[in-house]
Structure 1
Amino acid sequence: MSGLSAALRISRRNARRSKWRSALILAMIGLPVALVSFVLSALFGPGPVPDRQHYPLGQADALVTGAREWTGVTQDAWGNRIAAQPGNDPTPFTPAEIAAALAPGSRIVPFAQADFRYLTPQGYDIGQIRQVDLNDPMSRGTFRLTEGRLPTAPGEAVVSADRLAPDTAPGVTLFVGEKRRPLRVVGVALFDLTGTPPGLVAFPGSLPDAAFGPVHPELMSRGWLVDSPRPVTWADVRRLNARGLVVVSRTVVEAAPPDEAPSRVRVSSLTQSAPWVAIMLLEVVLLAGPAFAMGRLRRSREFALVAVQGGSPAHLRTIALADGLLFGVAASLPGAALGVGAAWLARPLLERRAGYLLGPFAAPWAAVATAAALGVLAGLLAALAPAVAASRTDPVAVLSGRRERGRERAGRPLLGIVLVVAGTAATVASADHELGWIATSALVTQLALVALTPALIAAVARLAARLPLPLRFAARDAVRNRGRTAPAVAAVMTAVVALTAVGVTWQSRLARNPAYAQSHPQAPAGALWIAGTNLTPGLWDRVRSAVREEVPAGVPLVEARTLTSRSGVPVYASVPDSASDVSRVEWSDATESGGLLVGNDDLLRYVLRRDDPQAVAAFHEGKAIVLNPVVVRQGQVRIDVSPAVARGDSAPLTLPAVGIRATGEGWARAVVAPEVAAKNGYGTATAMLMVDPADFRVPRATAERITAKVERISGKAIVRLEAPEAPDDTFLLVVLGIAAAVLVLGMTFVATMLATAEARPDLETMSAVGAAPRVKRAVVAGQALVIALLGSATGVLAGFAPGIAAARQAVPHHAEVFLRPDGVQVTAPADDTSTIAIPWLLVGLLVVALPLLAALGGAVFTRSRLPLPRRRIT
């Protein structure tokens, strides 16, 4: 221990002397540890999202809901898995009845929540509105106000941060429900994720209780928060169940065992992340290795003095390894603390980005300590090769000013070659498995290439015999100092492998996308369409005017409408597409039509893609034109309907129909005239405007102007031009190009500085025999070129296999179902796994541009004046 203590004191003294080198090593080790600690704390610090309650407890002791008619109520501790006989038209309890059922002295606060359709200045929206007094202490902990103030009177509300938009910002008045009750937004808040987070929270009395619908045992749409003078026990819960109440008690919930232990999930996550952590550790070791080697070179005289005074090779090795231990501890501990602290400080920003409140912060100290330990291990591993070199110090050669005889050997590459082949084969075979398997097999290949790097450098030096002097000198200097050059080349190679793999995966995914802007065609080729059921008639008039300003006069605008109730609430119509009536479209398409469009002859021609006299005649007779004749039975079609804001079931709609197939792909399931809708008790509302390409093909520049105008009118409309568009890989090239420039150039410059320092005696000799000043610049440029080019070329070749495997692994092996704006459900086949695209611009940047840039930087930032040889007194 005394020897280690002395070695640490020596390392500390040398660290103070070389402040810039020390800062560089601390950054190389500390920043990855800080990054990993930040990610671990940000992901696992808040804990799992609760999924047991229908309403957050906050500071309340309990919450209750129920009705007089409920019988046989049973529940679990969290108020889930409720069994009850709700009866017909259940009657909610009054506040007095609730207070009488609870312990004497209890205080109750009512709450209610349900989905509503409300009008904003930019159109309609649908979301959950909660009604409760946020100023009451029992609501504390369920929200955090970020802007404005809390509601203090009926008619005021706060909006959730994830629903904040220009048309819901503080100061805007919204109109809720069919009776258009006003709600003025006075603030913005983040809400707890327990249950369903609300879009708006209104002050009590803003909406009548009846607007929230009947009391239901599982929805918990209406109830009371309870502040009890004593804990609400499980016996109290069962007693209240017998009276028709469902109860969620804080005391019961805190005492109940968790549903599932998250340890298995976390162990699985850690197992999947292990190869990525190992790759990062390898990169840190290779990055910091040249810096430790530079320190060993500058301290060679110190090691020689220790050796001549009786220091053994073990002593020299301990002194050099002490550098790794000192820097590892000094970088990892503050790095881990910095990552945890940054995650805690970033919680408000993370919550704003997420749009909801995170759980109580608890740093995963075991994972953070593991990251710090890996940082210390990285420091020791990075200092290992320089420590071995220090133990072989030749004191006579160092103290006399002569170069030490190199002892690096290229070794036998057979084992490395076998591992490269095995790792590459495993990478290709892992394409059908999880991404962690690809990373693990790629890591095996990386380690094999790192082991092969010295032999690769020796092979390159043999090929450089006929190159110009600067390149020939750089290649031979690299092979003569493989202990310094190999880590630098391996570090560049490891970074380039990752960048190439990401580039191949990303480019392949882009290449497999269809030639349309948004995955699949949503309308006839060349059509311009605007969809949005949430726009008011006034907004649609402004949209029409904006479109007519851009298209030639006389070009018709095809209008598609959807069903509404008499009061104007959208009605979702589900048109079957098979004889068995098993296919139902989910209520999530852009028009909320379910495939049933209402319009005139222009719409019929647009949908069928031709003029059809038979269809027009049937259309004018009041029949539905169904594009799948199989679903027409006995001259009729049965359509299921439901309101946008469900408050009960609606009777199906049966219409006389005729089946007519479209030319090509039909762009609806059924078309009816407005008179048919009115005859059956429904209104209509505009849902889409289209410019038929048969009438006019809108140029892209015109479409962009229309899009800009519509976006200024309302953010609730979708504008799209159905025109081929090549995948845009600009973002890919910019991101990967910046990362490549930082990593490759940074590693190359550090290694070049070390090579220049070691080559000083050779440069002195060149100066003595009359070499020109530009020779030094050429030599340094050659050293940078050899390191960058060798690492980049090898890394690109090694990165193809994991990139191709990841590209094939990322392809979904099942068909994807999506909904078009006309409400038709379409099943798209899985992507073709045979499409593999190589990002040649990125490859050119890595193999050509960056090595040349590294050489240019080495030449520019090097003094051209050669050092004069020092006279030595013998």
Structure 2
Amino acid sequence: MITWYHSWRAAIRIARRDAWRSKGRSFLVLAMIALPILGVSAADLTLRSAELSTEQKLERSLGAADARLTDPGYGGVPVLQTPNGENYTPADDFEDKPYPEGSTDVTKAAPQGAKTLKDATGSAKLRTEHGLLHTEIRELKAADPMAKGMLTLVSGRFPADGTEVAATTHFLASSGLQVGSTLRARGFDREYTVVGSYELSDSLKSDQVNALPGALLAPLDKALKADGLPGTGAEATYLVSLPGGFTWNMVKETNTKGVVVHSRVVDLDPPAKSDVPFYQKNNWGDFGMSASAKAAALAAIGTVVGLAMLEICLLAGPAFAVGARRSRRQLGLVGANGGERRHIRAVVLSGGLVIGVAAAVVGTALGLALTYALRPVLEEYIGRRFGHFDIRPLELLGIGLLAVLTGLLAAIVPAVTSSRQTVLASLTGRRGVRRSSRVLPVIGLLATVLGAAIALYGSVFSDQFAIVAGGSALAELGVVAMTPALVGLFGRTGRLLPLSPRLALRDAVRNRGRTAPAVAAVLAAVAGTVAVATYAASSDAQQRAEYKAQLPYGAVSVIMGEAGSARDVPAVRSTVQKLLPVEVRADMDRISVGSANCSVWGGSDGCGSYEVVVPPQNRCPLWATDPANPDGDPAERFSKEERRKLAEDWRCQQSGGRGVYVPDGVVVADASLLKVLEIDDPAAAKALAGGQAVVFDKRYIDKNGDGGNDDGKDGTDGRDGTDDGTDEDGTVRIKLITDTEAAGKAFDEGREAPGEIKSFRVHRTADDVDAYGLSVIVPPAAAKAAGLTTLPLGAYYSTDSLPSTEQRQRLEGELDKTGSSVMLHIEEGYTSENSIILLALTVFAGLITIGAAGIATGLAQADAEADLKTLAAVGAPPRVRRTLSGFQCGVVAAMGVLLGSAAGVLPAIGLRLTERREQLKWYQEALDNGWGGLASDPHVPVVIPWATLAALLVAVPVGAALLAALVTRSRGALARRETA
């Protein structure tokens, strides 16, 4: 025991002295190990600090109250809830009767003797220094002791009367206002004074204004509705203070009155699941993370940690190997003085232990300091305040032990290699004959083939991505195992290269012990980057294909569909044309049924609606209501095969659903609208000029002109779903519905709604024309001739260039002056959210690649100093040393990037194929259920990010080579003969 202690003590002292003697190499390895420890420890501290305790969560949600009572909107029927009140449902089943709706008086459900405090929220547009800002309004007496902790006062004070408000710091920063400013709401002339600023600890970026109960929401809501504007949509809950707290039995009793409760006592001491009726109903379980999901999350974390340790070992291992070779004379003296192989192994392992311990201490200390210093920045980034600076010593100790373990693992192979050298070879500096392992490449090849097969199986025959991920990881490890052999294959191209790159490549092949790990580390980093970049590029292509533009690129629309806004439309049209680079302007009107003050959405007394009539022969059988069973699913009348076939019928294809909303997509406009929509159809423009309507959806066309009494026997527009293609002749019918109650009753009974029919001769465009959500354009002359009442709706504009941000801000400022709600849209086209991700990934992989290649180059220079001196001695120019270093770095980077790019594409393709199968499965289920016309055949492309690959394959190796050449000295120290 004493011998063991003294031998390791001596080994550690030797390793410490050697590390101090070789400060540059030691610092390099320490930095490699300490940086991940810094990141992991900082992440642990951030996550633990951001993770709130139950008490802290309750303080932010309940303040000092004992509970919060909420009306779930079920009309007062008994409810069941989870202990935290986040999930609830009516206690009874309503399968055969109407689902409960309505409100209940929450205050009557409070227990006897309880104190209540109203907490109401709504939203409105408030006037700021810049214009209007949509803001949340909260009416809560924040100074009440029951609300303590919910709103954190920053400056000033909370409001004391109905003329004062407080605002969040984010609102004040966004609005340009400050404490002492006056505040007004749109549609409300009453002024309020901002007397304080506060923040919401759980939502630092919220725009919120606080007022006393009844001071702002109710009068503002009344004023807005009086002007025909949307109200504030206020909702109220009640904080409750009760001696002894709100127990679970009290919660269940309150549930019987139709009220949901969030109780402090229940949150702190939740009941058993067997005592929660909510979980027993329909066998509903806990909505938390399942055991399988937790296992998957732990497996993912373990995989990431394992790969990080592997990469550090791959980079640090060669450094220990080079250090052992440079200390081989010292190790030889240990053997010459009676030291055994285990003593030599102990010395090298002690080097890993010493640097690992130092890296653990340095990384953990820097992680603590960095997290503490960046705490305000981190809180702003995540958008909420930490509960407290939470330090978990055991977790930090475990993270530090990872550094020690990594250092030991990185030193194992050099320790074994050094112990196998003879004393004579160590003292004379001879390296002996080194042969590459022939077994490892074979194992790597088998692992690569097996992993690729598993990933292929998972992507083609299984829905579990874990199989794809596991196979891809196995294949990547196989490529890592083959790296020494692959480096040797690269060496065969050396005969084609000039002197400096040929020397660099031969040196890399000759010293595979330090080259292969560096290449493998670059491979691992690049493979992950390429995998994520390929998936991101493929997802981006899918989102681009699924993006539905509301207008052609650069086009502008202004719509004013609210009640009474028609009078402001001409001024708004002129304002847009004056402030934007307009090329073509197309004015649009809408059909009005009933009062002239009706909005485009109708809904109020005296306001009717209209619809485009679909002829019976053009109606989709899957959507046709059965009068005998109006509440039943129409698709159930057909078999699965019939539903699949009907889903391909043109009558069942969903159209529209985007663009500017007007009922059934009908607008009154002239041929200029076709120009703005970029519809090149001279016949359509001629039809509009001649008083014919233009229809973009052939389901609306009645070619018989008799209301649709086609029996389908001619095969043109009958039940077989075919079309003869003669689109110039036909009729579109628009039904004006004035009695909305009768229409609703007819709909419930599966009958046609009563109304007046207006018919128009039509011209239909080609099927591939994109009308951006419009279905029918009625020319003004035809609308007037048919006796339709129309109101100005807005306009579409085509522009010479996409309006700038400054132009849009100026326009919105001018539109605000109208006092009406103007829906402004500028079509900017699809904006990729992955461009920043791809750039960040490319930069990340580039830094890792350059770092790994630089480490390999530095080790090569340290290991081949004698060769460089020999080159200088035989007359090689000074630039050879610089160019040799550059090419050494570039060779490592190029090999790693090339192999990593090939290895990284596999998992991304596997994931995309798995997603394609999953979405195709959902699509097939939609076809089986009769929803095929509402869904589209899934488009899940696989896109290779060639720009990212080009940057990795070309720019990164070239950049690494140039950087290494620049930082390398041209001249080295002169070699001297060693004294005997």
Distance 1:115-1:408 versus aligned 2 partners, 3 A rule? same
TM-score by length of 2: 0.69
Partner of 1:216: none
Per the alignment, in what secondary structure is the counterpart of residue 201 of structure 1?
strand
Distance 1:268-1:417 versus aligned 2 partners, 3 A rule? closer
Letter in 2 for 1:636: K
- 1:390 CA displacement: 2.4
Letter in 1 for 2:963: G
Partner of 1:478: 508
Does residue 558 of structure 1 match 2:659? no
Contact 1:144/1:190 (8 A) holds in 2: yes
Distance 1:533-1:813 versus aligned 2 partners, 3 A rule? farther
Alignment map for 1:214-253 (pairs within 5 Å): 221-237=235-251, 247-253=261-267
Does residue 35 of structure 1 match 2:45? no
Distance 1:552 1:486 in 2: 62
CA displacement 1:317-362 (0-9 Å, x = unmatched): 1221223233334334654575577667666545544555677886
- 1:40 CA displacement: 5.3
CA displacement 1:75-121 (0-9 Å, x = unmatched): 54445636599999978588xx899x534xx5432322346676778
Partner of 1:868: 974
Distance 1:25-1:210 versus aligned 2 partners, 3 A rule? same
Partner of 1:645: none
CA displacement 1:224-275 (0-9 Å, x = unmatched): 3233343333455566678887654322332224845546343332223443
Distance 2:653 2:146 in 1: 43
Partner of 1:11: 15
Alignment map for 1:690-729 (pairs within 5 Å): 690-691=796-797, 698-700=799-801, 707=808, 709-710=810-811, 719-721=825-827
Does residue 303 of structure 1 match 2:331? yes
Letter in 1 for 2:245: P
Does residue 377 of structure 1 match 2:482? no
Give 1:204's match in structure 2, choosing from 203, 213, 222: 213
Distance 1:849 1:65 in 2: 59
Greater displacement, 779-788 / 660-669: 660-669
CA displacement 1:40-75 (0-9 Å, x = unmatched): 55557645999x99x9322212334689x9877555
- 1:625 CA displacement: 12
Greater displacement, 798-807 / 284-293: 798-807
Greater displacement, 161-170 / 481-490: 161-170
Structure 1: gaps spanning 5 or more residues? 214-218, 643-651, 693-697, 817-824
Letter in 2 for 1:112: A
Partner of 2:303: 275
CA displacement 1:140-182 (0-9 Å, x = unmatched): 3334456776434324445567878845865473426x76665
Structure 2: gaps spanning 5 or more residues? 93-98, 223-232, 274-285, 604-608, 626-651, 709-732, 742-752, 817-821, 924-931
Contact 1:464/1:472 (8 A) holds in 2: yes
Distance 1:456 1:89 in 2: 72
Over the aligned positions, Cα root-mean-square deviation in angstroms equals 5.5
Partner of 1:748: 853
Q: How many residues align?
A: 825
Does residue 448 of structure 1 match 2:478? yes
- 1:514 CA displacement: 4.7
Partner of 1:820: none
Give 1:135's match in structure 2, choosing from 118, 140, 143: 143
- 1:500 CA displacement: 2.8
Does residue 331 of structure 1 match 2:377? no
- 1:132 CA displacement: 0.7
Does residue 81 of structure 1 match 2:88? yes
Distance 1:181-1:603 versus aligned 2 partners, 3 A rule? farther
Give 1:791's match in structure 2, choosing from 881, 896, 921: 896
Alignment map for 1:461-610 (pairs within 5 Å): 461-465=491-495, 467-512=497-542, 514=544, 519-523=547-551, 525=552, 528-531=555-558, 541=571, 544-551=574-581, 555-559=584-588, 571=601, 580=623, 593=662, 595=664, 601=670, 610=684
Partner of 1:801: 906
Distance 2:875 2:522 in 1: 35
Distance 1:639-1:403 versus aligned 2 partners, 3 A rule? farther
Per the alignment, in what secondary structure is the counterpart of residue 976 of structure 2?
coil
CA displacement 1:382-425 (0-9 Å, x = unmatched): 2222222322344434434x332253524232222122222233
TM-score by length of 1: 0.77
Distance 1:32 1:683 in 2: 68
Distance 1:637-1:47 versus aligned 2 partners, 3 A rule? farther
Per the alignment, in what secondary structure is the counterpart of residue 320 of structure 2?
helix
Partner of 2:434: 407
Does residue 636 of structure 1 match 2:743? no
Partner of 1:821: none
Distance 1:389-1:751 versus aligned 2 partners, 3 A rule? same
Contact 1:275/1:439 (8 A) holds in 2: no
Contact 1:65/1:220 (8 A) holds in 2: no
Contact 2:62/2:150 (8 A) holds in 1: yes
Distance 2:588 2:464 in 1: 47
Does residue 775 of structure 1 match 2:785? no
Per the alignment, in what secondary structure is the counterpart of residue 245 of structure 2?
coil
Distance 1:572 1:627 in 2: 27
Distance 1:498 1:421 in 2: 19
Does residue 56 of structure 1 match 2:61? yes
Contact 2:247/2:266 (8 A) holds in 1: yes
Distance 1:705-1:544 versus aligned 2 partners, 3 A rule? farther
Greater displacement, 380-389 / 850-859: 850-859
Distance 2:447 2:853 in 1: 26
- 1:756 CA displacement: 1.5
What percentage of residue pairs aligned between the two structures are identical? Answer: 29
Give 1:173's match in structure 2, choosing from 173, 183, 191: 183
- 1:533 CA displacement: 6.1
Contact 1:512/1:831 (8 A) holds in 2: no
Partner of 1:649: none
Per the alignment, in what secondary structure is the counterpart of residue 863 of structure 1?
coil
Per the alignment, in what secondary structure is the counterpart of residue 798 of structure 1?
helix
